Amino acid sequence: MSRIESWGRTPQVQHRDIVNLQWRDALPDIGGMSETVLPFGNGRSYGDSCLNDGGVLLRTLAMNHLISIDEEALLVRCESGITFAELLSVLVPRGLFVPVTPGTKMLTVGGAIANDVHGKNHHSAGTFGCHVTRFELYRSDGTVKMCSPAENPELFSATIGGLGLTGLITWAEFTVIRIPSAFIRQENFRFANIDEYLATSREHDAVFPYVVSWIDCSVRGKGLGRGIYMGGSFTPVERDAFNEPPVRTRSLPVEMPSWFLNTLTVRLFNFGFYHKQWRRHSRFRVHYNPFFYPLDAIHGWNKLYGRAGFYQYQCVVPYATAPQALHELLRTTAKSGKASFLAVLKNFGAMSSPGMLSFPAEGVTLSMDFRNEGGATLKLMNELDTIVRSAGGRLYPAKDARMSKDHFLSSNPRWDEFRKWIDPRFSSTFYRRMAD
């Protein structure tokens, strides 16, 4: 707990100080601090966007009070340090759910806004930021700014997806949705290659509010990009609709040796995952936890990659260039032999994000994990960058520790507009990489 690291565990940096926030009525004087600050929630960003090397982190995890839940208007107001896990433990028993959730519930509400997170329902609901109605921003000059589409709209738009650089979100208000139960009716479709994926998603994306696809990127040739398309929707059940079945969580108390995930084990895992789905199509019911948060069942799974940590690579490419770009990305990855243990595909919808720097854009997003093996891993990702750039795509800052400044600036046309809203006393390792 004492050493602060991001989820990918690389880079390892030293902070001057960690300030724990607990009460929004007694916030520290940021302007009086000698170093720059950055809000830090629960450390689920993968790279360096949540780190502030040599500076101060404002930890928000203990600032986690609910303010109100309006079940009529479907509005929740809470402090920024509360995690989705805590929030869901209060919402689900009342038949409510967060409007958008990423693949972990261990993130905080502040982190969800700062990274304008997306989830399995991006094609039907947009990003989390699309559902934020207002929030309060504490700036280093000691002022407090109310932000909404009507009040301080530019600051509102800069802060959503603003990587924590525009000030400290003390509390936020967002809409929630009604659910008929805590269970999902899930349908799986197996696809044999990337072209079949594109056809399957074209056919079924309109049917399911929640969709994600897992792909096996260790296979080359005809089966390149084979995988399983998983669609789901909340479904009514006869009884115990909102009961929490006991969740068996395991934890990984020690980091695994770095060879643990090697080409062979990754291939075995992927082979098993693909062939477990022995029918082309299956249909079943699951609780929302395994559907949305399969990895949360293993605490500290990031230690699977050993001491040196890992990189996550998430890009989005427009539909027009996607078929060719995905082929090339997967071929390059498979050929490198550094096949990702977890690779995920998803189509982003047309709904635009309110944030100036929001990552999602209409197109296909691919995300892969790579164990940090130094130069060879960086070289592979640079090759992938070339493909993404020529396809007109971009990378997700929340998952990045190495993208080039050039690529970031050219793929984020609103960067100059965004910079005007940065709080002068806020900074991050990622920001300095892009701005200096």
Partner 1 sequence: MATSLAIIGATSAIAQEVARIHASRGASLFVTARSPEKCAIIKADLLARGARQVDTAVFDAQTDFNTRDIVREIAAAQPECCAILIAHGVLSDNTLCAGDEHRAVSDFTINATSVIAVCTQAARWYESHTFPSTPCIAVISSVAGDRGRGSNYYYGAAKGAVTIFLQGLRNRLFKKGIHVVTIKPGFVDTPMTAHIPKNPLFASPQNVARAIVRAMERGTDVVYVPGFWRYVMLIIRLIPERVFKRLGL
Binding residues for partner 1, per CB under 8 A?
1-2, 18, 20, 22-26, 62, 65-69, 78, 89-90
- CA-wise closest residue to 166 among 174, 177, 156: 156
| Residue 21 C-beta: closest distance to partner 1, Å | 9
Q: Which is nearer to partner 1, 203 or 240 (CB)?
A: 240
| Angstrom distance (rounded) from CA 298 to CA 320 | 37
- Residue 130 is classified by DSSP as G
Angle at 92 between CA 281 and CA 131, to 5 degrees: 85
Q: Which is nearer to partner 1, 90 or 192 (CB)?
A: 90
For 248, list phi and psi in degrees, rounded to 5. Answer: -90, 105
Q: Which is nearer to partner 1, 2 or 143 (CB)?
A: 2
Q: Which is nearer to partner 1, 79 or 369 (CB)?
A: 79
| Residue 60 C-beta: closest distance to partner 1, Å | 12
| Residue 70 C-beta: closest distance to partner 1, Å | 10
Q: Give CA separation, 133 vs 111, 150, 175, in Å.
A: 16, 10, 7
| Residue 46 C-beta: closest distance to partner 1, Å | 22
Q: Which is nearer to partner 1, 91 or 211 (CB)?
A: 91
Strands 183-191 and 227-234: antiparallel
Residue 135 pairs in a beta bridge with 147, 172
The C-alpha R_g of the chain, in whole angstroms, comes to 21
Q: Which is nearer to partner 1, 18 or 409 (CB)?
A: 18
- CA-wise closest residue to 169 among 206, 144, 202, 133: 144
| Residue 14 C-beta: closest distance to partner 1, Å | 14
| Residue 93 C-beta: closest distance to partner 1, Å | 8
Which residue type sits at 138?
Y
| Angstrom distance (rounded) from CA 434 to CA 405 | 5
Q: Which is nearer to partner 1, 69 or 378 (CB)?
A: 69
- CA-wise closest residue to 339 among 228, 222, 224: 224
Q: Which two tokens stand for residue 431?
A: 């920001």
| Residue 309 C-beta: closest distance to partner 1, Å | 20
Q: Are 322 and 400 in contact (CB under 8 A)?
A: no
Angle at 348 between CA 347 and CA 349, to 5 degrees: 115
| Residue 20 C-beta: closest distance to partner 1, Å | 5
